[in-house]
Amino acid sequence: MTGLHAQHLPEKQTTSIRAPSTVKIDGKADEWPEQLQAYNHATNIYYTIANDDNYLYLCIEATQQAVINKIVNGGITFSIHKYGDKKDKNNVVSVTYPIFKGQQLFFSLTRNSVTGKNSETTSADAVNTLIKTYNKRLEQKCKSIGITGVPGLDDSVSVYNTDGIKAAGQFNIKKVYVCEFALAIKYLKIAGSEPIKFSYHLVVNGATSRGREPMFVDDGRPHPPIMDKIFAMQAINDMATDFWANYTMAGK
C-alpha cells in the first residue's frame, strides 16, 4: 500500500464483505485483496472488515513507522456496539491486540540491519533478515489478546486459545505491518433478523496506554536539541487515535 492508494480509498469502509473462504488469522494478508477497503486518516491505517457465518474479521495494514510502533506497543482495540450508543457500556464487546508486559518494542524501517546506519534497507537479503528478526521479536512478546464484554472469559486470553477469539500480527516483505482479528459472532450480542447492522469503534491506543513507561523521559536536565523533536514525536505516539463507523453483515 502507498499514499497514492490511500488517496483513492474511502475514509471508512462502505460495503459489506464476505470473508475469503481460505482466511487464516496469521498476520499475513495473503487471502485478502491487495487493496483493502478503506484508509482512515485519523488513525493512518488501511483496513477491511468482513464476515462469514461464524466470525467477524478485521484486517489492518500500517505502513508508517511511527504508527506501527504505536500499534505494537499500545495495541488496536476493536469494539462492537450493538446499538451504536457511545455511552452504552453493557452491549459492547471489545478485543485488543497486541498486549504484552515489559518495555516498549521499537522497530526501525529505515535502519540498515547490517551497518546499523539510518539508510534505507533495500537489498533482498537485508530485507529478509530484517523482517525475520522483527517477526521473531513479535512472536516472542505478543502472546495475549485483551477481551472485555464476554461473560465467562478473562480480561485476556492466549493467542492460542480455542474460544473463538483470534489475533495475529507481523511484518511482510514490503515492511508493512499486518494485523488480523477474528471474533466469533456468537459473542457479539447482535443476533437478529437480516440484515444485521452494528456500530464499531476502532482505537489505535497510545504506546503508554497500558501503563508502560515511555522510552524517553524529559527529566529537566540539559539535552541535545534533537531530543526536543524526539519528545514531541513521543507525545504524539502516546496519544490514542480512533474513529467510529457502521457495518452491515454480508449474507451468503
pLDDT of residue 121: 56
82-98 pLDDT, tens per residue?
777 777 777 899 999 99
pLDDT the model gives residue 115? 42
pLDDT at residue 112, as a whole number: 45
Cell numbers 493467542 correspond to 159
Alpha carbon of 111 to those of 114, 130, 179: distances in Å?
A: 9, 9, 22
The helix (H) or strand (E) run that includes residue 6 is: helix 3-7
Which residues, given as ranges, of the chain have pLDDT below 70?
1-5, 111-122, 191-193, 208-223, 226-237
pLDDT of amino acid 62: 96
Per-residue confidence (pLDDT) for residue 214, from 0 to 100: 61
d(CA 43, CA 243): 8
pLDDT of residue 71: 94
pTM: 0.85
What is the per-residue pLDDT for 190? 74
**pLDDT (0 to 100) of residue 185:** 93
The cell for 174 is 514490503
CA atoms within 13 A on the CB side of 2: 1
Residue-wise pLDDT for 123-138, tens only, equals 888 889 999 999 999 9
Q: How many CB atoms lie within 10 A of CB 242?
A: 15
Say which residues have a Cβ less than 8 Å from residue 246's Cβ, sequence separation at least 6.
84, 197, 198, 199, 200
Residue 132 has a pLDDT of: 95
- 69, 212 in Cβ contact below 8 A? no
Give the per-residue pLDDT at 114. 38
Q: What confidence score (pLDDT) does residue 113 get?
A: 40
Q: Nearest 5 degrees, angle CA 167-CA 31-CA 35?
A: 100
Distance between CA atoms of residues 187 and 56, nearest Å:
10
Q: What is the pLDDT of residue 50?
A: 97
* pLDDT value at residue 120: 56
| Residue-by-residue DSSP string for 170-239 | EE-TTS-EEEEEEEEGGGSS---SSSPEEEEEEEE--TTTTSPPPSS---SS---THHHHHHHHHHHHTS
CB-CB contact of 82 with 94 (8 Å): no
Q: Look at residue 93 in the predicted model and tell me its pLDDT.
A: 94
